[in-house]
Amino acid sequence: MARFAGGKAPFLRISDQKGKSTNTIMRDFMIAMLPVILFSWYKNGISVYLDGNINFFEMLYPLFLVIMGGLLSVVMEGIFFYVTDKKNRKLDDILRKLSTSYAAIPGVILALLLPLYTPIWVLMFAAFIATIVGKMLFGGFGHNIFNPALLGYAVVGFTLSGFITDAGGVFNGTEVLIDSYGGATPLGIFANFRNTGEAFSFAALVEPYGNLWDFFIGTIPGALGETSALAILIGGVWLVARKIIKWYTPVIYVGTIFVLSWIIGAIAGDAGLWFPTYSILSGGIMFAAVFMITEPVSTPTNALGKVFFALFLGVLTVLFRFVGNLPEGVGTSLILMNIFAIPIDTYTGIIRTKVFRKPGLSYASVLIGVLLIIVAYTIIASVNMYTAFLPIINIWQVI
């Protein structure tokens, strides 16, 4: 007999995991993030310590930052529960609420999105924005519009990034010694090329950091948790295996970015696969694909909705990367798409139920039409970066 769930997402298929509560999602998410956390600690702490470039206490800082991110979110949420619910202020009440609200996850994700030398007070502020503003003020878990961690990250990025840079920034004790980095992350170099209009080259974008294998493993400079595609993929496989996330959401998102980057590169005269591979392995695309765009509350719930959500997100990420002011593009596009999660969910719900009828076709046309327009604009807007486009533009003008 068919069973239906009401209320807000997430809807856990208890029948698949008997005897487990929503704690299961939280636990599995934390397990999935373990490879990422451990790799970021190894890369930014342990290996640098083993190289003799930092001392023991400095070695602990990356791990401390991640643990603090989770703890701060839990504590802030606990205080919020205490302050807003006068009838349930006992320790057991607070703990019960915390156990069903994924309290630690936004803080942990937040810490993994931030650079190594993020001051603790900045992390506290970010955790406050993520947990209190992004989540609890909207009604708590299941009611937030934006991804809480992303909101905290975005607010800090726009307001306090200077403090992070002044405190030391993104490079660990070994990376600052590597001349070829020249004080820039891969996306930093990407932005320089984009802004100057020079054609991209493998030698300029990839070789300073080794090769694409280094990008995949994660031995390149970047925020704590975003550099290792391998560690993220291990976490992603775990989440898929545990049926916490749908496999196609990250695949479609990453695939869209890969294909669009490939097209842009091909039009520019460089059809090498290195460029789309570089595109998906630099910045926070892989991390977002597994841990953020699969967030159950602020993204569509039905399968078609997830497909469209990932497609739009991929196109917008490329658009913002190639055309926008900031080289990352992931956070901006995800925040924007969080706003449209509910309409997409609604429209795709109608499409699924009335696929061959007029309303279904209309909504499908609208979604596909908007998507194609953005795709076309993204490719055309990228023209500024590529001198190879100029002959095409000239012909166009003549016509």
The residue (of 116 and 187) whose beta carbon lies closer to another protein is 116
Residue 96 lies near another protein (rule: CB under 8 A): no
The residue (of 111 and 318) whose beta carbon lies closer to another protein is 111
Residue 208 lies near another protein (rule: CB under 8 A): no
Which amino acid is present at 39? F
The residue (of 125 and 278) whose beta carbon lies closer to another protein is 125
- Give the H or E element holding residue 315: helix 303-323
112, 37 contact by CB (below 8 A): yes
**One residue of 9, 38, 46, 120 binding another protein per CB under 8 A:** 120
Question: CA nearest 226: which of 70, 353, 331?
Answer: 331
The residue (of 78 and 343) whose beta carbon lies closer to another protein is 78
For residues 280 and 169, give the distance between their C-alpha atoms in angstroms, rounded to a whole number. 23
Q: Which of residues 165-194 bind another protein (CB under 8 A)?
A: 166-168, 173, 176-177
Burial (CB count <10 Å: 0-12, 13-18, 19+), residue 221 = buried
Q: Which of residues 346-365 bind another protein (CB under 8 A)?
A: none
H helix count then E strand count, the chain: 20, 0
Residue 94 lies near another protein (rule: CB under 8 A): yes
Place of tokens 């996330």: 245
Q: Which of residues 130-169 bind another protein (CB under 8 A)?
A: 166-168
For residues 291 and 109, give the distance between their C-alpha atoms in angstroms, rounded to a whole number. 8
85, 77 contact by CB (below 8 A): no
The 44-73 site mask, x for binding another protein (CB under 8 A), equals ---------xxx-xx--x--x---x--xx-
What is the contact surface with another protein in residues (CB under 8 A)?
53-55, 57-58, 61, 64, 68, 71-72, 75-76, 78-79, 82-83, 89-91, 94, 117-121, 123-124, 166-168, 173, 176-177
